[in-house]
Chain A
Amino acid sequence: MRGKLTIALAALACCGFGAAQAQAVEYANHVEVGGGANHFGPYVYFYAAETYPYGTALACAGVRGVGLNCAVNSGESVGIVLPYDVEAEPYIHNHSTWTSYFNGYYYK
């Protein structure tokens, strides 16, 4: 019986069923970003970055050295997802012409 349980646990571990679920980390909360300016997060391992604007700002989410994704409509949330972890900086770009506030997340 104990042997079967060990085999089952080993199978779960080997096949990835026990893989830890990814999680969100908030790196910026209500941070002020000038029109056209960036706010860079920490240098970390992660696979996705996300930006939420306050009000009617045009938000962008970027991964330095990989790419940038911007909203076109006011108030939309935006993100960028990579197929594997990279060591880089997630960042917020304010695509509006005015200063606004944003939340920034990365997923690891």
Chain B
Amino acid sequence: MHLAPRFPRPPATRRAILALTLAATAVPASIVLLSASGSTATPSNPYAAYPALQSTAPSELELVASHERATNTGRPTWPLQAPQGAQSGWPLAESIRKLDLASPNMTAWIARSLGGGVCVLLWAHQPSGATPSIGYSCSQESEAALASGATARVSEIPGEPGAVYLAGVVPSTVSAVAVRLADGSTRTVAVTDNAWSLEAEGEPQSVQTIPAGG
């Protein structure tokens, strides 16, 4: 049995209804899509000035699940997981990347902090038998703080009186760092891949960044 529509419409009317239906669906959908794309515009990457964070080279820093029952292997380690109650300045293990330093007596890494800052981690190669510690410093998460970078200054190492090890990370807009030393002299250190480092005797007085082209 063939069931014919109760009120058959001519083809032109059917086409008009179809066109109106499509338009009624497409216009609001496109408005929604356009407004959505406008409101969720991709935010700028706060770490764009730190390409060292994208390095794929091995970090050469052993990540450990626990410090319990660990022994001195002569090399530092880093917790795989942030400790419970870790504060905003804790460097995140998964973001740690090795830095290319000119100083043979230290190793340094860059990382993101739990709170959104940038960190530098510094291992000054302590004398054999000493505890291989990592000193770290992290900036706050603000744009201004990220633009300043972070610097670690490790000192008071047993057996190395007066020795001070410095390593820092700065944005790629910085080409060099001028360090005023304890004796009043100034040493200028080049920045390579966001990193700089310096070994000194006595506490440095100040550190100033020199912008590229400056």
Task: Name A's B-contacting residues (CB within 8 A).
Answer: 16-17, 19-25, 47-48, 50, 52, 61-63, 65-73, 75-86, 105, 107
Contacts and interface: CB of A to CB of B under 8 A. Distances in A.
A52 B137 CA distance: 10
A83 B130 CA distance: 11
B207 interface: yes
Contacts of A107: 83, 86
A67 B155 CA distance: 6
Contacts of B207: 72-73
A80 B70 CA distance: 17
B156 A62 contact: yes
Chain B residues touching A, majority SS: loop
Instruction: Bin chain B's interface residue count.
Output: 35 or more
A47 B67 contact: yes
Contacts of A63: 133
A69 B152 contact: yes
Nearest to B179: A72
A1 B149 CA distance: 56
A47 B204 CA distance: 28
B31 interface: no
A10 to B, nearest CB: 18
B62 to A, nearest CB: 8
B175 to A, nearest CB: 18
A16 B64 CA distance: 10
A74 to B, nearest CB: 9
A73 B139 contact: yes
A52 B67 contact: no
Interface string B151-184: 1111111100000001010000000000000000
